[in-house]
Structure formats: structure tokens, C-alpha cells
Amino acid sequence: MGRDSAALTTALTVLSPGQKLAVEKFAVDMHEPFISAIKKQCPNADVVIDRFHLAQQINKAFDQVRKAEFKKARGRKDIFQEGMLEPHRRFVLVSRDADLSKSEMKLIDKLRLANKEIQCSMLMVEYFHKALDEKTVAGFRKVLARWYQLCRNTRYEPFLKFAKTLRNYRKILKPTSLQD
């Protein structure tokens, strides 16, 4: 099965016309061909972004900043930052604080003090998760509006690019975890 609208249309053939009309919500990533197919096949469905894919995209933006900072640290021969910014540590750097050990937290705090870009990027990820943790659409949109402002203030291209993608979908999509 492919990633085009025909692939999803084919997958939806298991539903009767009445079942397609009865679909209330449809979780999807931000893939336009799927969204188009959903709108045609299930016209009453509220299309929502899967939280996993939102988290995946914010982590991807962070990883782009991490890679750039890793290269800078390598060029400076900054062994601490180079070690902390290695690819295998990227998941530790975007983990929620509650998921980290005390020794990991100490190392990350030292990195945050040493690298403004990483500190700001970690805050961007953290604040975006705060938006995802909101329980209502209104709360999500309020926190997301502040997050957009942070993107503009930091001017980190990976986050600006992700923010632009989100803005393209803001009218029709909302994370699956939210209630109206």
C-alpha cells in the first residue's frame, strides 16, 4: 500500500457508504493526500493530527538544531558538548524531565548552561509538549499561539518550518488527545 490518496481510498473500501458517513473522527499525520481522501470518503469526519506525529515532527526540528550544534562542538573540539550532542543522546535531550535520572539531569543542566541554542531548543520542545498536554482545543490553541511567538523570537529555522506546517493545517486539524 502506498502513501497516496488512492491507497487510503482502497483501504476504506472495507467500510460501507453508511459507515463512511458515520465516521466522526479520523486520526492522521499531516499528509495531504490522506487528508484529501478522508474528506472525500468520510465527509462528516473531523480530521485530527495524531499526537505521535506531532511529537515526531517537533523532535525532528530539535534534532536538526542538535546536529548543527554537534558540528560546531566538534569544530571547537569541545569534548563535553560533542559527547552530549551525539546522535545516540538525542532521545535523552528531548525526554520529559520526569523520565530522566538525576545524573542525566545534571549533565543536561550543564549542557543548557553551555549552549544557548540547545537550551532554547529544549524549551521549544518542552513548551510544545505543554500545548499537547492541554485538555481542550481552546487551551491547546492558546498555548500554541505562545509557542508560535517563541518560534519567531528564537528564529531557529527547523522550528519556524514546523510552525509554518502547523499553521497550514490549524483550521482543520487538532491533536487527537483534545476534546472540543
pTM of the complete model = 0.82
- Residues in the chain, pLDDT under 70: 1, 90-92, 94-98, 171-180
Q: What's residue 175's pLDDT? A: 60
11: its cell numbers: 483501504
Q: What's residue 32's pLDDT? A: 86
Distance of alpha carbon 65 from alpha carbon 114, whole angstroms:
15
Q: What's residue 73's pLDDT? A: 96
Q: What's residue 141's pLDDT? A: 87
Q: What's residue 176's pLDDT? A: 59
The candidate with the shortest Cα–Cα distance to 44, out of 74, 9, 72, 20, is: 20
Domain residue spans of the chain: 5-49, 54-169
Q: Taking CA 155 as the corner, what is the angle to CA 149 and CA 157, rounded to the nearest 5 degrees?
A: 115
Q: What is the pLDDT of residues 141-161, one digit of tens each?
A: 899 999 999 999 999 999 999
